[in-house]
Structure 1
Amino acid sequence: MASSQAIHTFCSQLDASPSQRDTVEKYAKAIHEVIMDIGGKIAESMGLKGDYCKEWPCQFRINKYHFTPQSVGSAGVQLHTDSGFLTILQDDENVGGLEVMDKSGEFIAVDPLPGSLLVNLGDMATVWSNGRLHTVKHRVQCKEAKTRVSIATFLLGPKEEAVDPPPELVDSDHPRLYNSFTYEEYRKLRLSTKLQAGEALALVRT
């Protein structure tokens, strides 16, 4: 998302009109600034200094669900966690379906709230924070036979470097919990094992 050329290519794939292209480019720039700001504030809240996520790649995705009468009651997206560090979601303001799992295993509906953005943490946040931050399990259920659209921005993790917790977050009271690996290695691990709801974290523990 930090690349204007990548956004241009994305718009071309959508066959976007000049007006649509202008909207997407402005949105991408603004939401990229927001996710970088939130990432920086998370680090700051943990007593860390420095630009920990400024060079981390971001991914922009538009999800479109064609819910039919036959699909009502089924899953639009199965239970999962996001593999990256941080997600900002602009959910459909008219069609619900997003549900998050609480600590007891119960699902809580996240009803559409016009003008809002949803923020949640992914698996990389758990690894990077040495277990202090927790990933969020969620799913999308088909509630009604309508088209549902959501726009997601993912702050993934270091592009080539290993995902290691800052030294300040590792001490005798908080020993290192996870082995060193890259985001891409972890993404491939999730795909190969089909462990999409945070279970893959157990495979990379020390």
Structure 2
Amino acid sequence: MWSEVFSHPWHPTEDFTHLLPENPPEYRDVFSEYAREIGTLMNRLLSLISQGLGLDEDCLLKRLDGVTGLQVIKDGKWVPVDPVPGAFVINLGDQIQVMSNGRYKSVHHRAVTNKWLPRVSVAMFYAPNDETVIGPIEDLIDEEHPPIYRSYKFKEFMEEFYRQEGNRRRVKEAFEM
């Protein structure tokens, strides 16, 4: 399966607006507001997951030091964002499973398409920087819960992700102990 994608970066503390398209004229303002809200949502979710694991509320946020980016995909071709309502999916991915030492499980991402209606995906990615070390959080490891995964840099994860292209990806399994 192939796709063409419109994408650009965004970060909650750095100004990337000069990288955004100038047309349509309101795009920069609308996207900036959307990105701020998504950033707030992600911070809240990471806080709740941290607390659910019995950790400080900012534990995962500090460890991920995330950057975000937007991608718009329509049936393999980029299109302007269409305001048609759709499903809302939050995919926190394999890193949460690894850092939680398997207490939270990631799921295989699936999308349903059909031959009658086009599908537009607007994905906002929240990922660590390349040098961020991902591994089981020490406070979640003890004699009853030994580490399931080895620590790795996020760039290693992405290299493995692209290496498995064309297959049913099982990236986190490559880092199992």
| Range class of TM-score, shorter chain | 0.7 to 0.9
**Residue-pair matches, total:** 161
Residues 1:134 and 2:144 aligned together: no
Q: Partner of 2:174 in structure 1?
A: 203
Provide the residue aligned with 1:59 in structure 2. 68
* Unmatched tracts of structure 2, length 5 or more: 1-10, 77-81
TM-score (norm 2): 0.77
Q: Partners of 2:164 and 2:37 in 1: how far apart? A: 35
1:176 aligns with 2:147: yes
Write out aligned runs for 1:24-103 (5 A). 24-52=31-59, 53-54=61-62, 56-66=65-75, 93-94=84-85
Distance 1:23 1:4 in 2: 17
Q: Deviations over 1:102-125 (max 9, x none)?
A: xxxxxxxxxx45xxx322331111
C-alpha deviation, 1:139, in angstroms = 2.2
Q: Do the aligned partners of 2:71 and 2:122 also contact (CA within 8 Å) in 1? A: yes
What is the rounded CA distance, in whole Å, between the counterparts of 2:139 and 2:92 in structure 1? 20
Q: Percent of aligned pairs with the same residue?
A: 24
- Residue of structure 1 in register with 2:131 after alignment: 160
Helix, strand or coil: the match of 1:203? helix
Structure 1 counterpart of 2:170, one-letter code: E
What is the letter of the counterpart of residue 141 of structure 2? Answer: V
Higher strand proportion = 1
Q: Which runs of 4+ in 1 moved over 3 A?
A: 91-94, 144-147, 195-198
Q: Against the structure 1 CA distance between its residues 4 and 167, is the aligned structure 2 distance closer, same or farther, given a 3 Å change threshold? A: closer
Change over 3 Å in CA distance of 1:196–1:172 after alignment to 2? farther
- Change beyond 3 A, Cα 1:49–1:197: farther
- Per the alignment, residue 2 of structure 1 pairs with 12
| RMSD of aligned alpha carbons | 2.7
TM-score (norm 1): 0.67
Q: Report whether the alignment pairs 1:148 with 2:157.
A: no
